[in-house]
Amino acid sequence: MPLSNIPDPSHGDHQEAWRDRLALGDITVVDDFVFGCSKDDRFYGSEAGVIGFGNKSYSFFNQMARQTSYNAFAYCFPSDHQAEGFLIIGPYPQRLELVTPLIRGYGLRSYVYSLLLQDMTVDWKRLEVDPSIDTRQIMVVDSGTDDTFVSSPTFYALAEAVTSVMRDKGYYREYGSEKVCFRPAGGDPVNWRGLPAMEMRFLRATVNLPPDNVFHQQSVDRICLAFQPDTYTSGVRDVRILGNKALRSFRVVYDLEKMTFGFQARAC
C-alpha cells in the first residue's frame, strides 16, 4: 500500500514510499516494512527502488533491529552485475583487518553514517595539495550514490595525479566535460591491468582500490574517473560522499555497538 510521495531533491524528482510485508528466508518477517520506489531514471535501468541504510526510523536496519541480537549489518555489492552480493543483519564474522571509527551524523544531518578520510594516494604517492589546506574530511557513506565526492582541493590534486600517471601509461585526457575521462592514445582497448593504483586512507584503515572501483568504463576505449568534487554533489555544495562504486566487491560492516566500519576486499 502506498504511504506518500517523498520529495527527493538529491535525485531531482520524487520517490513513492510504500509499506508491505517483508519476509527474509523462512523465519524473519517484518510487517508494514517501509521502502521507496524511485522515479529516478539515472540509475542505468538496473534499479527500481531504494531501501535506506541510514539512521532514520524507517531505515532498513532500524526496521530490522528487533529481529537480531546484535546491532550490526553488513553488505557487499558486486562489481559485476551478473554476480551475487549479500546482506547480513546482526552478528557477523569479525575477522576484519581494516576497521575505522564510524561517525553518526554529518553536520546537521544526524541520520547518516560517516567516516574520516585523512589522505589519498595515486600509485603510492600522496596527492600534492597546498600544505595550508587541511585535507581531512568527513565523508557520508551513501550506497545510493554511484560516484565518490571529495573536497575540491583534493579532487583537483587527484585529477592531476591520475592524469600524470595515465599520460605515462599512454593515455590522453579528454577535456570539455565535468567528468575526468581518458582514452588510449593509439585507439586500443583499455588495459585494466595497467591502470594506476589508488589508496583511500581513513582513520586507522588504508583501503586499496582496484581499477574497477576507481574508473567507469564508458566503452572499450574510454574510461572516466568515478570521483567528483563536492561542488557537483547533486546540487548540494560541500557534501563529501563515499559512493558505492568505490566499495563494490568489498564487504562493508556497520557495527553499531562498537561504532566501527569494517572493510574486506574481494568478498563478492
For residue 8, how many other CB atoms are within 10 A of its CB? 17
The predicted model scores a pTM of 0.84
How far apart, in whole angstroms, are the C-alpha atoms of residue 219 and residue 148? 21
DSSP lists the bridge partners of residue 33 as: 20
Q: What distance, in Å, lies between the first and last C-alpha atoms of the chain?
A: 34
How far apart, in whole angstroms, are the C-alpha atoms of residue 241 and residue 251? 18
How far apart, in whole angstroms, are the C-alpha atoms of residue 125 and residue 157? 11
Write down the pLDDT at residue 266: 92
Beta-strand relationship, 260-264 and 98-101: antiparallel
Write down the pLDDT at residue 39: 61
How far apart, in whole angstroms, are the C-alpha atoms of residue 254 and residue 53? 10
3-state helix, strand, coil in the chain (%, to 5): 15, 45, 40
Domains of the chain: 93-247+257-264 (2.40.70.10)
For residue 233, how many other CB atoms are within 10 A of its CB? 19
How far apart, in whole angstroms, are the C-alpha atoms of residue 60 and residue 74? 12
Predicted confidence pLDDT, tens digits, the chain (268 residues): 444 444 443 444 456 777 888 877 666 778 888 877 766 545 455 555 566 788 888 788 888 877 888 999 999 999 887 889 998 888 888 778 899 999 998 877 778 999 999 999 999 999 999 888 888 899 999 988 899 999 999 999 999 999 999 999 999 999 887 899 999 998 899 999 999 989 999 999 999 999 999 999 999 999 999 999 988 655 556 689 999 999 999 999 999 999 999 999 999 9
Grid coordinates 510521495 are at which residue? 5
User: How far does Cα 79 stand from its chain's mean position?
Assistant: 12
Whether 135 and 229 have beta carbons less than 8 Å apart is answered as no
Write down the pLDDT at residue 31: 82
Instruction: Report the run of H or E that residue 255 belongs to, with start and end.
Output: strand 251-255
